[in-house]
Structure 1
Amino acid sequence: MPERPFLYEPSERFGEGLTTRRPWNVAALTSVERLNGRVAMVGFAAAVLGELLTGHGPAGQVIDLLRWYLG
């Protein structure tokens, strides 16, 4: 049984997808946004924990890491 060729979505102009009546894949968008939110929460918790441990904010931690790496 031959495989069906993969059909790409037609290309559209910039921003056109936000204004057309074409339905969005809401299930995929929901899962992607849920994952983005969870990753953001983990990153924020890591920044707070790092600040508690080092006494420096996120920018200070990056600067300290660069000094350690380059020094």
Structure 2
Amino acid sequence: MGDRAFQYEPLERFGEGLTTSRPWNRAALSGVERLNGRVAMIGFAAALIGEELTGRGIVGQLALMLRWLLG
């Protein structure tokens, strides 16, 4: 479990301040980017699975969801 991507990172660690010589903590931001990429891959896979199950593209899936939410 050496991967720290899913651990909470306090906001203060992302940026030291705009007046310092190194305003951004690149190690903390790389973890955030890695997590963002993983979530994007899961979302893409979910869209493909939804299209396969419903036979509709993303717009059709959104229309079905809106119809379901609005009753």
Moved over 4 A (4+): none
Q: State the TM-score, normalizing by the size of structure 1.
A: 0.65
Would you say 1:54 and 2:59 are equivalent positions? Answer: no
Ranges in structure 2 where 5+ consecutive residues have no aligned partner = 1-15
Answer 1 or 2: higher relative contact order, Cα 8 Å, separation at least 6: 2
**Deviation of 1:35 (Å):** 0.3
Q: State the TM-score, normalizing by the size of structure 2.
A: 0.65
Q: Distance in 1 between matches of 2:51 and 2:21?
A: 46
Q: Identity rate of aligned residues, in percent?
A: 64
User: What is the aligned length?
Assistant: 55
Q: Distance in 2 between matches of 1:21 and 1:69?
A: 49
Ranges in structure 1 where 5+ consecutive residues have no aligned partner = 1-8, 11-16
